[in-house]
Amino acid sequence: MRYPSVTINLEKLEKNTATIVNLCKKHNISVSGVTKVFCGIPEITNAMVKGGISFIADSRIENLKKSMCFNLPKILLRLPMLSQADDAVTYSDISLNSEYVTIAALSDAARRMNQTHKIILMIDVGDLREGILPKDCLNLVEKILKLKGVELFGLGTNLNCFGGVIPSFENLSILTDLKNKIKEKFNFEITMLSGGNSGSLHLLESNKIPKEINNLRLGESILRGMESSYGRYLDDTFDDVFIFNAEIIELKEKPSVPAGEIGPDAFGNKPVFTDRGTIKRAIAACGRQDVNISGLRPLDNLIEILGASSDHMILDVTKSKTDYKVGDVVKFSLDYGALLSAFTSEYVLKYYT
């Protein structure tokens, strides 16, 4: 094995998926498995497919293209760029939308290709990322229903992102309410109500999800075994599907405070140091070009990460019970940001177990 690397336990990932799919099934909710954090790598998507997801969802067309080998409907999560309308229709079956011009462009593209593209209309219920305001819904729906080539398949919302707003019975009920109004006014039945991401799972545990919500788009919770509104681990899931590995290239006893006048570090910040006397310091061969260091946590919890430059990570191993040597490998868990960065870096190798 070479380093730095991420090891991925596909069996644990499949089990996490199955556990969460079953939890959702009890509430009549289908799962869109979100593949963007791991850039849509087919081996990893396959574990989620085996675990029972119903849709494959990603923000990027590039990633959805890698999933063409799976016989499940594809959802484009990020609002399509106007310039992307043709690709959106070619590589996804369903896309999330909030702009009439884009929906009209999808309609044109789909008609040219003799296809029907499904639309999930995004409603902003408070987080202030994508979506129309609820008051604008009926007017827009009226226009969408007149378009050929597109089918208004669902309503959706996204929370926990820009504004950090936590999903609740109240804010998700806005979707139910709009679905009912659309039925009343246009005699049109909305098929899917997609009630958010991994931040919505806490509502299932407390039985507070509106019963009309029938889909969730889940990435982080499946990958890390954690709901993301309160950061709680989910029952019967693994939190160690992904492990980051880095190799020690220097190990020395050195002072904890640098010598000389302190100027900016490699990233323009002026570092501050606490004097802990002489410490045992390890340098691991990885850095900010590989992974978001602040999202790593050493599995040996007596190790402390002191910092990192582009390609060196400095560890305090003084208190560890392990007698580390040059050539040893240190293992870390990864948070969402660390996963995202490690999968995006071409320097980080990926191994499957």
Ligand X SMILES: *Cc1c(COP(=O)(O)O)cnc(C)c1O
Tell me which residues touch ligand X (CB under 6 A).
34, 36, 59, 77, 96, 158, 197-198, 217-221, 228
In angstroms, what is the minimal distance from the CB of 124 to ligand X? 12
In angstroms, what is the minimal distance from the CB of 218 to ligand X? 5
| Closest CA relative to residue 108, chosen from 71, 136, 80 | 80
The tokens 């070619």 sit on which residue?
90
**Residue 99 neighbours by CB under 8 Å, 6+ apart:** 79
Neighbours of 65 (CB within 10 A): 15
Cα separation, 103 vs 101, whole angstroms = 6
List Cα–Cα distances, 340 to 13, 121, 126, 293, in angstroms.
16, 27, 26, 12
The β-bridge partners of 118 are: 94, 151
In angstroms, what is the minimal distance from the CB of 144 to ligand X? 19
Indicate the residue type of 132: I
| Closest CA relative to residue 12, chosen from 196, 190, 181, 239 | 239
In angstroms, what is the minimal distance from the CB of 10 to ligand X? 18
3-state secondary structure of 164: coil
The tokens 């499957």 sit on which residue?
352
Beta strands in 137-236 (DSSP E): 150-156, 192-194, 215-218
Nearer to ligand X, 94 or 282 (CB): 94
Residue nearest to ligand X (CB): 219
Q: DSSP characters for 4-38? A: SEEEE-HHHHHHHHHHHHHHHHHTT-EEEEE-GGG
Active site residues: 36
Nearer to ligand X, 57 or 251 (CB): 57
In angstroms, what is the minimal distance from the CB of 35 to ligand X? 10
Query: How do the residues of the chain divide into helix, strand and coil, expressed in percent and rounded to 5?
Result: 30, 25, 45
**Residue 331 neighbours by CB under 8 Å, 6+ apart:** 243, 244, 245, 298, 299, 300
In angstroms, what is the minimal distance from the CB of 76 to ligand X? 10
Indicate the residue type of 184: E
Nearer to ligand X, 128 or 326 (CB): 128
Nearer to ligand X, 313 or 338 (CB): 338
In angstroms, what is the minimal distance from the CB of 174 to ligand X? 17
Nearer to ligand X, 86 or 335 (CB): 335
Nearer to ligand X, 199 or 210 (CB): 199
Both structure tokens of 322: 């392990």
**Do β-strands 74-76 and 5-8 pair in parallel, antiparallel, or remain unpaired?**
unpaired
Nearer to ligand X, 52 or 298 (CB): 52
